[in-house]
Structures are given as structure tokens and as C-alpha cells.
Amino acid sequence: MWSERPSAFLVVKVAVRRFRFVFPVPLFVFADLLEALADLAALAAWLVPALRPAGAAAALLPALLAEVRRVPRWTPLEVRDGETFFAVVFF
């Protein structure tokens, strides 16, 4: 069990030379988006049987996000190359 609060935001940070951009996404909004995409993938799999593996994989995404939210602060991706910076952080 984690001692800190679970993550509430997905933050995307981009910096290119003088341009800096921080885009916070509340995870409950992202979870709703993933659930909607899973429903669309299930419909597509029902209409086109060849898409069933993709529909099954999309159905797992909301559960995966629920598990990732349990981790407090986490940086799964951070890339630096000279004057360019890109990071994804769960807060």
C-alpha cells in the first residue's frame, strides 16, 4: 500500500528552445475517454470480427489506468535532447 495520495493528473511537459508548454489532464477525464474508446472498440469488434483482438486490448485500458493511478508521483517518460525536452508525469 502506498503512503502518499494516488495520482490525480497526467501532465505532459514540452520545451523546445524558448517555447514551453505544460498540459495537465485530470485522470478522471482521461478514464472517461478510455472507457468511451473501449466501448467504440467493442462495437467495432462486433461489426468486424477481425478487430476482436484490438477490442479486447482496448477493454483492458481503463483497468490499467486505475492501477497506474494508485502509484503516487511517477514519471514514466522523460526525454532530453539538447534544447528539446518532453516528459509525461503522473501527479
Helices H / strands E in the chain, number of each: 2, 4
Domain boundaries, the chain: 9-90
For 9-68, the pLDDT digits (tens) are 989 999 998 899 999 999 888 888 888 988 888 898 899 988 888 888 888 888 888 888
Write the DSSP assignment of 54-77 as a string of letters.
HHHHHHHHHHHHHHHHTSSSEEEE
DSSP H or E segment with residue 15: strand 9-16
Dihedral pair phi/psi, residue 82, rounded to 5°: 65, -115
For 31-48, the pLDDT digits (tens) are 888 889 888 888 988 999
Judge contact between 41 and 51, C-beta under 8 A: yes
pLDDT reading at 76 higher than 60? yes
Cα angle 18, 82, 87 (rounded to 5 degrees) comes to: 75
Identify the residue whose cell numbers are 490525480. 8
